[in-house]
Structure 1
Amino acid sequence: MRSTAGSTEPTGTATRPDPAGTVRRFSTAERWVHRTTGWLMLVCLVTAACLYFGPLAQLVGRRHVMVFVHEWSGILLPVPVLLGLFSAAFRADLRRLNRFAVYDRQWLRAVRRRRTSPGARPAGKFNAGQKIYAGWIAGAVLVMMFTGLLMWFMGLLPFISRTSAIFVHDLLAWAITFVVLGHMRKAFEDPEARLGMRTGYVSRSWAEREHSRWLRTDRDGSVAERTHEE
């Protein structure tokens, strides 16, 4: 992710007010990208568990079917993101996730010091934790795909042994499992965030409390926020 001196989050229609006092957080395309990617990731993890753990493998049986589903769900993981690039709102959010501003470092310090007072954790549309998670999971998926292809097509790169590919693949699979479970736990702790991903809208009060810089940027423009940082 690129580091910037201040926020340069793109403006747009993402926070268009709704008469009911809510704001638009995610477009339909963004929600479908997230949902489809989540289901594909879940299928990958479940089929991996059925292949990895003996009792589950015996219970499920049909190992060749599990292998087939696991391989193709992994291959298809990047497809929703690639299709999402046709959406301007999705591309704008990717730019947001790729920028690490001064206030993101403030957010991390506040989390580390367990500060929960109002304004202690400044965030744009995505907080620093969400940006780190997005960058890490994107890199992890690419490594998983690469090592999976090496295991699938033996001899693709002769100078990398199949044993090495399996070791990295399995180790990273465990890391992804724990990280995704942590992501799901945080989501279940915040019903409003889940509502935003399910319907596309969140309450203005939640947005002002958790992502105040996002609303400020879309209302006043990015220049106002850069001036504040400087």
Structure 2
Amino acid sequence: MGPTARADNPGVLTRFSALERWTHWSYAFMFLILIVTAILMIASPLARSIAIGPTRLVPLVHVVSGALLVLAAVLPFLSGLLRAVLASPGVDRVRIGAALREIGAVSRRALQGRSLARFNWGQRANIAFTLGSLGLFAITGGLIWLGRVVPYWIQEPMYELHVLLAIVSVVVLLAHIAMALTHPMAMRGMIDGAVGRQWANRHHRRWVELADPTPPRSTPR
């Protein structure tokens, strides 16, 4: 996504769309639930034993939150496919295929163009870690959830990897929060989508230049 100057204030640029912000905060909320439920399952036998009928409540919330976490991460891609399906009078495989190709093209552009220019190298590393850990969480969590269907010699290392990954992710999350709190303009961009043009030019000049090469004319005071 390229910067878009707001009509009422050319000195303010739109950095994140509503969907991108919704994805970020949904992911954060679900991850927080996962952390809390994981701590309860490990440290509190009483909380772990709470059940509704035959179903233990805390593990259920943990599993559902994990599934929703994956859904939140892929929602931007699913939304594009859903729009294509809804725009079709029926199940139009050609249009759906075209939509999937367009989603792939958008993803490739995001990885090499102005969308990626919004982020510095530390932020890019955080994005890569988040996506990579999400995949590992999904695989290891799924194998743990399958229980006795999976051989013990597979499930045991998957559990250890799942826990280790969770610990590392919490450390990364705390660092992420600390950086956000010490960079209020960057955090504002994820809250209401907007950042100041001067801040963007100072921290992400390439992003501004790629999509908005001509600075706005100065207005008389």
Compute the TM-score of the two structures, normalised by the length of structure 1. 0.71
In the alignment, structure 1 residue 98 sits paired with structure 2 residue 111: yes
List aligned pairs for 1:1-230, cutoff 5 A: 14-18=2-6, 19-20=8-9, 21-54=11-44, 58=46, 62=50, 64-85=56-77, 86=79, 95=108, 98-99=111-112, 124-158=117-151, 160-220=153-213
Quick one: which amino acid aligns to residue 213 of structure 1?
R
Seen in structure 2, the aligned counterparts of structure 1 residues 58 and 157 have a Cα distance that, compared at 3 Å, is closer
Seen in structure 2, the aligned counterparts of structure 1 residues 176 and 93 have a Cα distance that, compared at 3 Å, is farther
SS in 1 for 2:195: strand
Seen in structure 2, the aligned counterparts of structure 1 residues 220 and 29 have a Cα distance that, compared at 3 Å, is same
Q: Is the 8 A contact 1:23 1:204 kept in 2?
A: yes
Quick one: which amino acid aligns to residue 98 of structure 1?
L
Q: Is the 8 A contact 1:98 1:131 kept in 2?
A: no
Distance of 1:157 and 1:59 partners within structure 2: 26
Greater Cα shift, 25-34 or 45-54: 45-54
Give the RMSD, CA atoms, in angstroms: 3.0
Q: Is the 8 A contact 2:30 2:69 kept in 1?
A: yes
SS in 2 for 1:220: coil
Could you report, residue by residue, the CA deviation over 1:105-139 in whole angstroms, capped at 9, with x for unpaired residues?
Answer: xxxxxxxxxxxxxxxxxx92111111111111111
Which structure has greater helix proportion?
Answer: 2
CA deviation after TM superposition for structure 1 residue 79, in Å: 0.8
Seen in structure 2, the aligned counterparts of structure 1 residues 66 and 138 have a Cα distance that, compared at 3 Å, is same
SS in 1 for 2:147: coil
Distance of 1:187 and 1:146 partners within structure 2: 29
Seen in structure 2, the aligned counterparts of structure 1 residues 59 and 197 have a Cα distance that, compared at 3 Å, is same
Quick one: which amino acid aligns to residue 123 of structure 2?
Q
SS in 2 for 1:180: helix
Q: Is the 8 A contact 2:47 2:58 kept in 1?
A: no
Aligned to 2:219: none
Q: Is the 8 A contact 1:97 1:126 kept in 2?
A: no
Distance of 2:50 and 2:106 partners within structure 1: 41
CA deviation after TM superposition for structure 1 residue 53, in Å: 2.0
SS in 2 for 1:126: coil
Q: Is the 8 A contact 1:124 1:211 kept in 2?
A: yes
May I ask how many residue pairs the two structures share in their alignment?
185
Gapped regions of structure 2 (runs ≥ 5): 82-102, 215-221
Q: Is the 8 A contact 2:41 2:48 kept in 1?
A: no
Distance of 1:92 and 1:27 partners within structure 2: 19
Larger radius of gyration: 2
SS in 2 for 1:22: strand
- % identical equivalent positions: 29
